[in-house]
Amino acid sequence: MTDRSIAFVTGAAQGIGLATAERLARDGFRVVAMDRNGARVEQEAANLRARGLDVLAATVDVCDRASVVAALDAQPRVDAMVCAAGIYNDAQFLDLTEEAFRAMLEVNVIGTFIPAQEAARRMQAGGRIVTISSRGALGGTRFAHYVASKAAVIGLTRAMAMELRDRQIAVNSVAPGFTDTPMTRSAPPDMFAAWEGLEPGGKAASPEVIANAIAFLAAPTTHFITGQTLFVDGGKSLGGLGI
């Protein structure tokens, strides 16, 4: 048992989710780091515990409600839920298959809906839900299915915020720009460099920069903000860059 506030982070085996798990633990939460990559999330949670942080691991597929429920019910309460699990792949619109489109929606949208809903069912007033959209929600080429999934996350966030506001549960989204994580590093180095060059200042964000915004929206001290999407993209979403 713990008297700390308890935060759950999906997709926490690496990248933005892992940086968020560490940040929330430093901010004083007990953190349950959830990922479908059980071996990796166990290892990363152990690494954080070795640094004195209160981080537990749970093997969870965000599309599998039973695994989400099991992780939540293993703790006495739910104070914050960060839905950071997501997938990305690219395809020209003319070649995009229904299978690829459905798989993208399944993880990025249904995999946000399930943990958010199960968390909200267990939250008291003051609960915080943070979803992860993307600057790509505004549009882009060669990833229409990803764009659609991340625009859906913004709509879902607004709808959840409206239904949960009377219970004083805040639901907000962070929309990162191009961020240096295993997701983006899985691209060939020349492609990573080309993408990075399109960013304002020519640099990718660090996962810690994104975690900082997530931590702000997950904090019990952040009040009166709900249904919002905070773009953390160095200003790329403002346009005017010739893209």
Q: Catalytic site residues?
A: 146
The per-type count for the chain, helices as H runs and strands as E runs, is: 9, 7
Q: Where does this chain touch ligand NAI (CB under 6 A) — which range of 25-33, 57-65, 219-227, 234-242?
A: 57-65
Site size with ligand NAI, rule: CB under 6 A: 30
| Identity of the residue, 124 or 214, whose beta carbon is nearer to ligand NAI in the bound complex | 214
Q: Which of residues 130-149 bind ligand NAI (CB under 6 A)?
A: 132, 134
236 binds ligand NAI (CB under 6 A): no
Q: Judged by CB under 6 A, which of 115, 127, 176, 234 binds ligand NAI? A: 176
Q: Judged by CB under 6 A, which of 23, 30, 36, 122 binds ligand NAI? A: 36
Q: Judged by CB under 6 A, which of 8, 113, 143, 178 binds ligand NAI? A: 178
What residues have CB less than 8 Å from 153, skipping those under 6 apart? 108, 109, 112, 131, 132, 133, 137, 173
84 binds ligand NAI (CB under 6 A): yes
Give the DSSP letter string of 23-37: HHHHTT-EEEEEES-
Distance CA 112, CA 156 (A): 9
Cα dihedral 132→40→116→127 (10° resolution): -90
Q: Judged by CB under 6 A, which of 110, 138, 183, 225 binds ligand NAI? A: 183
Distances (CA, A) of 240 to 19, 159, 178, 186, 205: 30, 30, 17, 28, 19
Closest separation in Å from C-beta 1 to ligand NAI = 26
Distance CA 16, CA 166 (A): 30
Q: Which residues bind ligand NAI (CB under 6 A)?
A: 10-11, 13-17, 35-37, 60-63, 84-88, 107, 111, 132, 134, 176, 178-179, 181-184
